[in-house]
């Protein structure tokens, strides 16, 4: 295991542990000091392996990233007599890390916590950066906090049994980084496939660390999303609306959202049409959807209640060219003009 400590502007410090083994996890997060929180599906898979920990779980799925689920988890923590010194350890994908991060920030006004991300998407994105939230109805992450975890444990071992859909979803976020921050990753993705990365864990681990580095660099510059951190929302504005309306996996929705963002970029920043075609081919290569019949009015209605909306419109992440993102305030009618690209 190799570890790196990063201190954020808030004063929070996170230990990033790469190639972490079970032994490493047990040493850095001793079971007597921790409560493991996961979903019921993963509890069935890893419960025996992690039996040294006190474990509580909740039903899997985005629909359970909610306040009622948080209340149930809080009651379970009270039943286990968790106190301000108890570390909460979230094992799972983005739903688990969001729930555990939000719960830890609010339980007894704040307890230490860590993540063991078990999906590619959570390893390259969801577990990093301290943004943790819960959904309210169709509105994604409408309640949330920015609080950094004490530890994150990364290992490709957790990814070996991932279903294909989860691999695809994770690569959607990696594609996002390639367009907003590092065109070298874009070139790598064009030359490689999911299956190659699955067969070459060393290459996959390097790619994961590159994504962690990209996101951390952005978060260190703007922890509370008042400036540059907003570029991480590339593909997420329309993507979040599509995800909630049509129960799509997060990464699949982000891929569709990136198509909308690039069509808007063609209109408003002069982005070359070849870049949109390049993205289309890349999404197809990594098994991600490129089209979706949708209700334009319903999508726009959700967008208008998005966290990125302003009185004068919606702050949208566009591209001038790959590697050069820009933020532009757009009206609902302007965004609606780009949605037919998904038909």
Same domain (yes/no): 170, 297? yes
The vertex-173 CA angle with 328 and 327, nearest 5°, equals: 10
Same domain (yes/no): 174, 304? yes
Cα separation of 108 and 35, whole Å?
15
Q: Which of 159, 183, 206 is the last residue of a domain?
A: 159
Q: Give the domain range for residue 109.
A: 2-159
Same domain (yes/no): 210, 338? yes
Confidence class for position 160, pLDDT limits 50, 70, 90: confident
The helix/strand/coil state of 180 is helix
pLDDT value for 256: 98
User: Does the structure show a pLDDT above 70 at 298?
Assistant: yes
Same domain (yes/no): 102, 174? no
Same domain (yes/no): 194, 172? yes
Q: Which of 130, 159, 188 is the last residue of a domain?
A: 159
pLDDT value for 305: 80
Tally of domains within the chain: 2
Same domain (yes/no): 31, 180? no
User: Does the structure show a pLDDT above 80 at 309?
Assistant: no
Q: What mean pLDDT is predicted for residues 312-338?
A: 94
Confidence class for position 78, pLDDT limits 50, 70, 90: very high
Same domain (yes/no): 102, 236? no
Q: Which of 136, 159, 182 is the last residue of a domain?
A: 159
pLDDT value for 207: 97
Q: What mean pLDDT is predicted for residues 193-222?
A: 96
Q: Is there a contact between 311 and 317 (Cβ–Cβ < 8 Å)? A: no
Confidence class for position 311, pLDDT limits 50, 70, 90: low
Same domain (yes/no): 17, 77? yes
Same domain (yes/no): 151, 183? no
pLDDT value for 308: 65
Same domain (yes/no): 80, 174? no
- Please, what is the angle between helix 250-268 and helix 164-180, to 10°? 30
Confidence class for position 313, pLDDT limits 50, 70, 90: confident
Strand stretches in 138-226, DSSP E: 139-146, 151-153
Q: What mean pLDDT is predicted for residues 162-167?
A: 95
């Amino acid at each position: 295991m190799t570890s790196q400590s990063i201190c954020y502007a808030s004063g929070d410090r996170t230990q990033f542990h790469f190639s972490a083994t079970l032994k490493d996890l047990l040493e850095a997060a001793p079971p007597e000091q921790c409560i493991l929180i996961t979903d019921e599906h993963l509890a069935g898979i890893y419960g025996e392996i992690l039996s040294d920990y006190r474990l509580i779980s909740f039903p899997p799925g985005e629909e359970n990233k909610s306040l009622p689920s948080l209340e149930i988890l809080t009651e379970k923590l009270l039943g286990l007599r968790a106190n301000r010194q108890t570390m909460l350890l979230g094992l799972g994908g983005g739903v688990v890390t969001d729930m555990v991060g939000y719960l830890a920030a609010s339980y007894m006004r704040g307890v230490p916590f860590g993540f063991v991300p078990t999906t590619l998407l959570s390893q390259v994105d969801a577990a990093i950066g301290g943004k943790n939230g819960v959904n309210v109805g169709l509105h994604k992450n409408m309640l949330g906090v920015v609080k950094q975890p004490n530890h994150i444990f990364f290992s490709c071992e957790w990814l070996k049994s991932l279903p294909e859909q989860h691999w695809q979803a994770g690569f959607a976020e990696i594609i996002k980084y390639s367009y907003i921050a590092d065109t070298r990753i874009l070139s790598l993705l064009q030359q490689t496939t999911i299956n190659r990365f699955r067969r070459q864990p060393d290459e996959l681990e390097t790619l994961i660390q590159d994504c962690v580095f990209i996101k951390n660099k952005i978060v260190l510059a703007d922890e509370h999303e008042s400036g540059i951190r907003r570029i991480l929302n590339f593909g997420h504005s329309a993507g979040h609306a599509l995800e909630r309306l049509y129960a799509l996996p997060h990464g699949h929705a982000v891929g569709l959202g990136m198509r909308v963002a690039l069509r808007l970029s063609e209109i408003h920043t002069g982005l070359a049409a070849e870049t949109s075609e390049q993205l289309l081919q890349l999404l197809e290569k990594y098994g991600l959807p490129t089209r979706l019949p949708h209700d334009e009015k319903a999508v726009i209605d959700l967008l208008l209640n998005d966290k990125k909306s302003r009185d004068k419109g919606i702050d949208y992440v566009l591209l001038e060219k790959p590697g050069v993102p820009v933020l532009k305030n757009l009206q609902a009618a302007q965004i609606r003009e780009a949605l037919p690209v998904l038909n």
